[in-house]
Amino acid sequence: RCGEARGDYEFNPEELICAGCLPHSADTSCDKHGTEFIEYKCRFCCSTAVFFCFGTTHFCDACHSRPGDMQTMQSSGTLPPCPAGPLGKKLEGDCPLGLSESSHPEPGEEMVLGCGICRNAKTSF
């Protein structure tokens, strides 16, 4: 799906970032579960990311369906602050990810959420 969306876009392979060099990479390992279940926030909204594209960007499913629009909103400064829904929709109330205002990154920034198993265990019990 990413390859199809890329179209004629040319990129510089030297600009790709390995997972170990990403911002917050020190937080990308769980003492109990290793690295397999680490989750990221979508760069563009308050959803859990399910795609990692371009070697730099985590997307939720909805934002991944329109990457050009999301990158345009980011570069123009029109991404809404938290709480933000997919595709640039401003939400009311608390952050859907349960993040506090002080721990929330600015719109358009990457953020590791931590281990999905441990996060789920904390909210389920």
Is 18 among the catalytic positions? no
Q: What is the dihedral of CA 54, 75, 26, 124, to 10 degrees?
A: -90
Amino acid making up residue 97: L
d(CA 81, CA 105): 9
Q: Give, in order, the Cα–Cα distances in Å from 32 to each of 15, 38, 51, 120.
A: 32, 11, 24, 14
Q: Which of 2, 18, 30, 46 is catalytic?
A: 2
Handedness of CA 105, 28, 116, 57 (dihedral sign): positive
Q: Active-site residue 82, yes or no?
A: no
- Annotated catalytic residue: which of 45, 53, 82, 95? 53
Q: What residues are annotated to the active site?
A: 2, 53
